[in-house]
Structure 1
Amino acid sequence: MSAVTAEKNNSLWSDARHRLMRNRAALISLIVLTVIIFCCLVLPLLGFLHDPNAQALPDKNLAPSGAHWFGTDNLGRDIFARVVYGGRISIAVGLITTLVSVTIGVCYGAISGYVSGRTDAIMMRIVDILYALPFLIIVILLGKTIEPATAKLTDTVVGWFTSADASVESINATRAWIEPITTLVPLFVAIGALSWLTVSRIVRAQVQGVAKQEFVEAARSLGLGNFRILFRHILPNTLGPIIVYTTLTIPSVMLFEATLSFLGMGVKPPYASWGNLINEGANLMLSNIWLLFFPTLLFSATLFALNFLGDGLRDALDPRSAKD
């Protein structure tokens, strides 16, 4: 019986993969995302990019050329290098923050949906109260509260990647790629700790539906504990909606980070994310349109690709589409 069930489960996931591959918009979006992520993560390691923070005033406000593919800004910094390094930060914000929020939301919603009754009602009223809070203000206040700990965190992480006898140049080089991420830890925690509300409701509804099925009753009759039933048998059957929601959450988190950076409350100069690059470009668009055009292009392409991929995953994992 278990072999038949495993074969059926494999065929369902196989059918979903085939449906996703037939969705041209989702497939193209996946390719675009792969190229953008590859460029942002790998190109800085190859060593041929300009220093994104190096200023060269004689070369300021240059148009795109062979020496500077995306031109330079008003301080002579290479826009291509800043867009690539900024993309690394924006993507990291989207992935890490989404992971935090989905983890909290899945656990909270699964427990609420499984226990039901008065406990479920209390847990959902808490969610309703949190929904009523001003999200942007709470994120800013929470981020400012835990921000003083980031300097100590940066020193700790730098120590992990450098030896005791490392040179000052080596330590500074390591700090240059670690510090932009660690300074955003308050942002990761603040957004992730407050953006799990919707996913908790989605998981709760899914768990309540799956918990009524016969295999759950069979698991209870075998004497399995509630924890094992919930996390080993019920949650795996709700992965489809969770995956879709995760894919659609990443662009919304990246957009929120861009909003905070645009307002000057995200990535701190001289480091860059797509959000504060767009902010700089908006301020200087009359004299240097390239400073606005290229970060906006990459950011928009990433958001569109993530949304189209999320739509494709939703269609592929929808059981009703298996009849097509």
Structure 2
Amino acid sequence: MSTAASSPASRIEKGASLWQDAWRRLSKNRAAMVSVGVLAVILLACIILPAIPKFLQDPGMQSLENKNLPPSAAHWFGTDHLGRDLFSRILFGGRVSIMVGLITTMVSVTIGITWGAISGYVGGRTDAFMMRTVDTLYALPFLVIVILLGAVLEPITGHVTEFTVRLFTPSGSSAAKANEVRTAVEPFTTLVPLFIAIGALSWLNVSRIVRAQVQSVAKLEFVEAARSLGLGHLRILFRHILPNTLGPIIVYTTLTIPGVMLFEATLSFLGLGVKPPNSSWGILIEEGANRMLSNPLLLFFPALFFSTTLFALNFLGDGLRDALDPKSSKD
């Protein structure tokens, strides 16, 4: 009896969830896993190293007698035309570029998910009106609208900066302490118009993807069962339908981040993004392109970090797309 009880026919194989299957397939994708490691190193370097006191040189400190120095133990990537340490500038600029990519993508994905989910679930005239709105926005020149929105929203930057300084400055602090806090937060508060401008118009593709997914999932039996139980429309939509559309949303999000970072770099290259003396990878590339004949390293190192990050995000997005493909859920 013990032999029969332990026979293969009597064993119950434990099932795996969709996310477990997806992780198993993703872990087999070498390019995606290498990309995860590369992104982790770049993120940790740009976030942790600038926060360590006196580990990096001041990215804004100028030293004209040390300008255009080659890489050395004192300056790992050399110095620029004003004697500023290039390695420090790349890490501090990477923090800004990565923040632009992440926050702007969160804004656009949130708007796109909400708009597309409501449009796909409600249907009818509401769906037609919302999708025609998306079509109208598609017809507008994206770059021009972002530039105009950034110009209109720019006056709020000063108010946001002062509010943030008051928030993080203890009462009774000296003016020097307030200026120190202002120097730390100003590179990020000045980006608020850029966050809003890009995020407010980059959600159009997300809304179409979510709408199509919601329309497909809404026809399934478990949604009809939820309706028969008397659940409200908002609960059905956000608790039952949207969780079953997360796969394509996650994939598109990973592919949106490099697009947003590239667009920010383009704006900064044109002088319309991050304002000097603050830096981003786009500004560093623009400065390097202007001086590539006299010092090509000023272009090489920022472009290397930027392109490596974009490649890693794209490889990760491709890996997630393959891992979350329902047609390949059973290998």
TM-score, length basis structure 2: 0.94
Partner Cα distance (2:329, 2:119) in 1: 30
Give secondary structure in 2 for the equivalent of 1:323.
Answer: coil
Pairing 1:275-290 to 2, within 5 Å after superposition: 275-290=282-297
Gaps of 5+ in 1: 1-6
More moved, 136-145 vs 151-160: 151-160
User: 2:193: which partner in 1?
Assistant: 186
Is 1:22 the counterpart of 2:47? The answer is no
Number of residue equivalences: 317
User: 2:3: which partner in 1?
Assistant: none
Partner Cα distance (2:317, 2:41) in 1: 17
Is 1:35 the counterpart of 2:5? The answer is no
AA aligned opposite 1:190: A
AA aligned opposite 2:165: V
Partner Cα distance (2:184, 2:95) in 1: 10
* Deviation readout 1:191-225 (Å, 9 max, x if unpaired): 00000000000000000000000000011111111
AA aligned opposite 1:146: L
AA aligned opposite 1:226: H
Partner Cα distance (1:305, 1:170) in 2: 39
Partner Cα distance (1:225, 1:171) in 2: 50
User: 1:204: which partner in 2?
Assistant: 211
1:236 corresponds, among 243, 265, 269, to: 243
User: 2:312: which partner in 1?
Assistant: 305
Cα shift at 1:175: 1.9
Cα shift at 1:322: 1.5
User: 1:112: which partner in 2?
Assistant: 119
Partner Cα distance (2:211, 2:94) in 1: 34
Cα shift at 1:11: 1.6
User: 2:145: which partner in 1?
Assistant: 138
Gaps of 5+ in 2: 1-13
Cα shift at 1:27: 0.1
Partner Cα distance (1:183, 1:71) in 2: 28
User: 1:295: which partner in 2?
Assistant: 302
Give secondary structure in 2 for the equivalent of 1:268.
Answer: coil
AA aligned opposite 1:71: G
Between the aligned residues of both structures, percent identity stands at 71
Is 1:81 the counterpart of 2:88? The answer is yes
Partner Cα distance (2:30, 2:184) in 1: 36
Partner Cα distance (1:63, 1:167) in 2: 40
Structure number with bigger Rg: 2
Partner Cα distance (1:15, 1:176) in 2: 47
User: 1:4: which partner in 2?
Assistant: none
